[in-house]
Amino acid sequence: MTGLNIFFILKDMLDNVKAKKYQIRLAPESLLGQSQKTGLDYLLRLDPDRLMAPIYKGLGRAAEAKAENYGGWEEDQINGHMLGHYLSAISAFWQATCDSRLKKNLDYVVVELKSLQASNGYIGGISSQYFENCFNGHFSVAKFTLENNWVPWYVQYKIFAGLFDAFWLGENQNAWKVLLAMGHWVCRGIANMSDQDIQRMLFCEHGGMCRVLVDLYQISGEKVFLVTAERFIHHQVMDPLLSGKDELAGNHANTQIPKVMGLAKLYDVTADDKYRRAVEFFIDRVINTRSYVMGGNSRSEHFEEPGCEALSRDTCESCSTHYMLKLVEDVFAWQPREDLAAYYENALLNHILASQEPVNGNKMYFVPTESGHFKVYGTEDNSSWCCIGSGLENPGRYHRFIWTEFENGLYLNLFAASTLMTEDYCVRLLTDFPYSSKVLIKVERMKKEPPFLYIRKPSWSKNPLEVFINGEPCGSVDSGYLKIMRPLKEGDSIDFSLSMELCSYPAKDNPRRFALKYGPIVLAARLGREKMPPSDVVPVHLALMEWENPVIIPRVLADKDKPDSWMSMNDPGALSFRTQPGALENQQCLELLPFYALHHERYMIYFDQA
Ligand SMILES: [Zn+2]
C-alpha cells in the first residue's frame, strides 16, 4: 500500500469518526463526574518524559532519555507497559473531556515515539531481542516468562493498544503510522514461525495481541494482519471455549480476557458465528459462575471452579474487570441485553469506582473480600502495577456505556447524570442516582428524524418501569428495555422512577453467607481503623497481605433474607445504613456505606448468618 492510499484511508476514517462522533459529558458534580475529575488530575500529574524513559532504554538509547523512569513494575522487566496505558487513558479522557492539556501530552508522546521507532518498525520498552529469538524459533517459555523475561508480548500489546486508542479516540494520525509499521514488524516475524512454535510462545501471557492485529486489519484492509491475528489465537485455552466447554478453572483470569477480546473482534470482521458463540459462552461463565457480588472475578488472579465464591484478600483483580467491561461493550453491540447492562452497572459502580481512592486517585490491585481487611493502593511513583495502568484508563471510560446508539435507536443503559450531544440531537440526563431514584431526560435539541429511545428497566428494580413524557404516561415494561414508541421532539421531558430497595445477595458456595445491596449498590459495613498499617499506600502490591486483623467479626442473628427488617437508612445523602440492636452478635450495631465510598478503614462485604 502506498503512502498516498494510507493517507486517503486515514482521512476517510477520521472524517467518519467525526461524522459519527457523539460526545457524552458527565455532570461534574455527579458521583462518576467527581471520580472522573480525580482520575484526570492523577493522569495530568504523570510526567510523559518519565513514561517515555523505558522506550529509550528498550532501543539501546538510554543516555538520551529526558527523565528517570518510574519505579515498581516499570523497572521490573515490563518497562513501558505504563506508557501504553497512559496513551489509552489520555485518549479516553480526551474523548470524555476535550481537555486541551491531554491532547498536547498525547501529541507529544506520539511524536517522540515516531522519532524513536527503529527502521524495522520495532518500538518498545524492552529489547527487541526477546521477540527476535521467538521469530527464530529459539526461545524458552513459561506461563509468565519468555526467554526468562516477564511477559514481553503483554507489554507490546499495551503499547499497541495505546497507539490504537491514540489514533481512534485521540484522533492522532501519527499514531496510526507508528502502529502500522509496528504491526508489519510483528507480521514479518510471525511469518517465519511454525504454528507449533507460535502456540508454544502463546503459552506465555500475551495480552490482546490477536485483538490489536484485527483492529489493524479492520482499518487498513491489509489481509496480512488478519492472517497474523488468527495465528495469535491461543488454541489451548480458546478451543474449549470455541466448542462450548468450560475449562477455565486454574487459568490466570486476566491473561484470558484480552484473548477473548480478540475473538470478539474476529467475529466483527469475519461474521464467523463460532467466534461470537465462544465469546458469549465465556462472558456467561465468568459473569454467572465466577464473579463476586461487586462484579470482580478471580482469586489470586486465577479462575476457580464454577460456583466458587471463596473470600480472601487477593480477590477481584481490578484489571480483570477493566477488560471484562471492554468485552461486554463488544457483546452488547451485537445485541442489547439487560443482563449485560446489569453486569456492567454492577462492576462499574461497585468494583471500578470503588477501586480508585476519591481524594488523590490512587488505584487498587486486588479488592479484598475477606472480612476485616481493607483497601490497599499503589503509589504514584513506585508501583506501576498492571491495575494502576488500567486504573489510569478507567475514569476516562465512565461515560462510555451510559448511552449506546444503534441504527434502530438510542439505548439508555446507565442512570448517570450526563449530557449526550450529537450533530443531530442533544439530550440531558438529570438525576442524583443512586442517592435518588428519580430520573429526568430533557431533549434539548433535535435537528433530524429522531431515533427511538429505549430505556432500561434494571433487573434490580422490583416494580415495572413506568415512563412519562411531558407528564403523560407513555408505556411501561416489566423487564428488558422499554421502547418509547413516540418519536422525540425538542423540549420533551421524559421522567421515571426506579425502585431502590435493600436486598440480600446469596454467595454462590455457602447458603449461610450473603452480601447486601441497595438497588445495584453493594454496601459494606465499617469495621474501624484498629491496628491499621501506618499507610495503606504501598509500592509492592502484596506488601500488606499478611497484615494482622484484630477485629472480631459479628455474625447476623436476624433473617438474612429480610434485611429491611433489621437495617434502616441513616443518611439518605450518603446512602448510609445502620443495623438495629439485636440483629448482630454481641449486641453490636454497624454502619454500612456504599462500598465505593468506603476507604482507609477495615470493612465487611460478606456476612455470615449465625
Ligand atoms: Zn492487574
In tens, the pLDDT along 149-185 reads 999 999 999 999 999 999 999 999 999 999 999 999 9
Question: Does residue 115 lie within any of the structural domains?
Answer: no
* Among the listed residues 270, 228, 215, 217, the one whose alpha carbon sits nearest the alpha carbon of residue 1: 217
Helix, strand or coil, per DSSP, at residue 570: strand
CA of 320 relative to ligand 1 center, distance in Å: 7
Burial (CB < 10 A; 0-12, 13-18, 19+), residue 204, is buried
Question: Does residue 428 lie within any of the structural domains?
Answer: yes
What does the pLDDT read at residue 329?
Answer: 98
**How many Cα atoms within 13 Å fall on the side-chain side of residue 402?**
26
pLDDT beyond 90 at 132: yes
pLDDT beyond 50 at 537: yes
Q: What is d(CA 201, CA 195) in angstroms, rounded to the nearest whole number?
A: 10
Question: Does residue 470 lie within any of the structural domains?
Answer: yes
* DSSP secondary structure string for all residues of 304-347: -STT-----TTBS-HHHHHHHHHHHHHHHHHS--HHHHHHHHHH
Q: Residue 187 in contact with residue 225, Cβ under 8 Å?
A: yes
Binning pLDDT at 50, 70 and 90, where does residue 9 land? very low
Question: Does residue 471 lie within any of the structural domains?
Answer: yes
CA of 90 relative to ligand 1 center, distance in Å: 19
Tell me the per-residue pLDDT of 135-146, one tens digit each, with 9 for 90 and over: 999 999 999 999
CA of 492 relative to ligand 1 center, distance in Å: 44
pLDDT beyond 90 at 319: yes
Tell me the per-residue pLDDT of 590-607, one tens digit each, with 9 for 90 and over: 999 999 999 999 999 999
Tell me the per-residue pLDDT of 59-116, one tens digit each, with 9 for 90 and over: 999 999 999 999 999 998 899 999 999 999 999 999 999 999 999 999 999 999 999 9
CA of 316 relative to ligand 1 center, distance in Å: 9
CA of 390 relative to ligand 1 center, distance in Å: 7
CA of 386 relative to ligand 1 center, distance in Å: 4
Question: Does residue 442 lie within any of the structural domains?
Answer: yes
Q: Residue 165 in contact with residue 87, Cβ under 8 Å?
A: yes
CA of 508 relative to ligand 1 center, distance in Å: 24
Point out the least confidently predicted range of 27-36, 443-452, 486-495.
443-452
pLDDT beyond 50 at 353: yes
* Among the listed residues 454, 477, 353, the one whose alpha carbon sits nearest the alpha carbon of residue 403: 454
CA of 313 relative to ligand 1 center, distance in Å: 14
Q: What is the mean pLDDT of residues 343-348?
A: 98
Mean pLDDT estimate for the chain: 95
Structural domain count, the chain: 1
CA of 317 relative to ligand 1 center, distance in Å: 6
CA of 391 relative to ligand 1 center, distance in Å: 9
CA of 137 relative to ligand 1 center, distance in Å: 30
Tell me the per-residue pLDDT of 264-288, one tens digit each, with 9 for 90 and over: 999 999 999 999 999 999 999 999 9
CA of 610 relative to ligand 1 center, distance in Å: 35
Q: Which CATH number characterizes residue 430's domain?
A: 2.60.40
CA of 443 relative to ligand 1 center, distance in Å: 40
Which long-range contacts does 561-570 make (Cβ < 8 Å, 24+ apart)? 561/504, 562/504, 563/502, 563/503, 563/504, 563/516, 564/501, 564/502, 567/502, 567/516, 567/592
CA of 28 relative to ligand 1 center, distance in Å: 28
Strands (E), 85-203: 141-142, 145-146, 149-150
CA of 408 relative to ligand 1 center, distance in Å: 37
Question: Does residue 440 lie within any of the structural domains?
Answer: yes
CA of 312 relative to ligand 1 center, distance in Å: 16
CA of 201 relative to ligand 1 center, distance in Å: 22
For 483, the domain range is 416-497
CA of 155 relative to ligand 1 center, distance in Å: 13
CA of 18 relative to ligand 1 center, distance in Å: 33
What does the pLDDT read at residue 291?
Answer: 98
CA of 309 relative to ligand 1 center, distance in Å: 19
Helix, strand or coil, per DSSP, at residue 301: coil
End-to-end CA distance of the chain: 70
The partner residues of 340 in beta bridges, in order of sequence, read none
CA of 318 relative to ligand 1 center, distance in Å: 6
CA of 321 relative to ligand 1 center, distance in Å: 9
CA of 402 relative to ligand 1 center, distance in Å: 25
The Cβ of residue 578 has, within 10 Å, a number of other Cβ atoms equal to 17
What does the pLDDT read at residue 76?
Answer: 83
Q: What is d(CA 143, CA 202) in angstroms, rounded to the nearest whole number?
A: 9
pLDDT beyond 60 at 8: no
Q: Residue 152 in contact with residue 203, Cβ under 8 Å?
A: no
pLDDT beyond 90 at 451: no
CA of 277 relative to ligand 1 center, distance in Å: 27
CA of 253 relative to ligand 1 center, distance in Å: 10
CA of 314 relative to ligand 1 center, distance in Å: 11
What does the pLDDT read at residue 407?
Answer: 87
* DSSP secondary structure string for all residues of 220-254: H--HHHHHHHHHT--HHHHHHHHTT----TTSBHH
> Could you say which DSSP state residue 588 is in?
-
CA of 499 relative to ligand 1 center, distance in Å: 35
Indicate yes or no: pTM above 0.85: yes
CA of 354 relative to ligand 1 center, distance in Å: 15
Q: What is d(CA 151, CA 129) in angstroms, rounded to the nearest whole number?
A: 13
CA of 438 relative to ligand 1 center, distance in Å: 36
CA of 323 relative to ligand 1 center, distance in Å: 10
> Could you say which DSSP state residue 409 is in?
E
CA of 387 relative to ligand 1 center, distance in Å: 4
CA of 39 relative to ligand 1 center, distance in Å: 17
* 414 membership: H or E segment, kind and range: none
pLDDT beyond 80 at 489: yes
CA of 392 relative to ligand 1 center, distance in Å: 12
Q: What is the mean pLDDT of residues 435-444?
A: 97
CA of 4 relative to ligand 1 center, distance in Å: 41
Question: Does residue 476 lie within any of the structural domains?
Answer: yes
CA of 194 relative to ligand 1 center, distance in Å: 31
CA of 254 relative to ligand 1 center, distance in Å: 7
CA of 352 relative to ligand 1 center, distance in Å: 12
pLDDT beyond 70 at 437: yes
Tell me the per-residue pLDDT of 193-250, one tens digit each, with 9 for 90 and over: 999 999 999 999 999 999 999 999 999 999 999 999 999 999 999 999 999 999 999 9
| Pairing of β 409-412 and β 403-406 | antiparallel
What does the pLDDT read at residue 450?
Answer: 62
CA of 385 relative to ligand 1 center, distance in Å: 6
Q: Residue 110 in contact with residue 166, Cβ under 8 Å?
A: yes
Which residues are in the CB-under-5-Å shell of ion ligand 1? 317, 319, 386-387
CA of 319 relative to ligand 1 center, distance in Å: 4
Question: Does residue 427 lie within any of the structural domains?
Answer: yes
